[in-house]
Amino acid sequence: MKRQALICKDCNTEIFSDTNMVMLKDAIWKKVSDSFEDAICDKCIEKRLGRNITLSDFKPSSINGVEMIPCNQFWLIYKGVELNGGQK
Ligand SMILES: [Zn+2]
């Protein structure tokens, strides 16, 4: 399978699923992006939003009992956000 690089359309930074990619709720994404297929990194999403990304912006996922989309989970870990109040 060919790996397709995702490049942020605003800052041309490569987007990686474990550091600067987030999946937002469709309604939020529609507001932030110019089209559904857009690739925008977390920082530029926040710039476009005019505020920080919060948990409630994330697209919920309940597939196979997984409550969060992996890239969102990675992003929270990368950002050091504690979900369960526990220590890493
Ligand atoms: Zn960007």
pLDDT in tens, 49-76: 999 999 889 987 765 666 788 899 899 8
Neighbours of ion ligand 1 (CB under 5 A): 8, 10-11, 41, 44
The H or E element containing residue 16 is none
pLDDT for 13-51, tens place per residue? 999 999 999 999 999 999 999 999 999 999 999 999 999
Give residue 68's pLDDT.
80
Ligand 1 centroid, distance to 53 Cα (angstroms)? 14
Q: Which domain holds residue 65?
A: 6-79
Contacts within 8 Å (CB) and 24+ apart, 56-65: 57/22, 57/24, 57/25, 57/28, 58/22, 58/23, 58/24, 58/25, 59/23, 59/24, 59/25, 59/26, 59/29, 60/25
Total structural domains within the chain: 1
Ligand 1 centroid, distance to 82 Cα (angstroms)? 24
| 1: in domain | no
| 20: in domain | yes
Give residue 87's pLDDT.
44
Ligand 1 centroid, distance to 7 Cα (angstroms)? 8
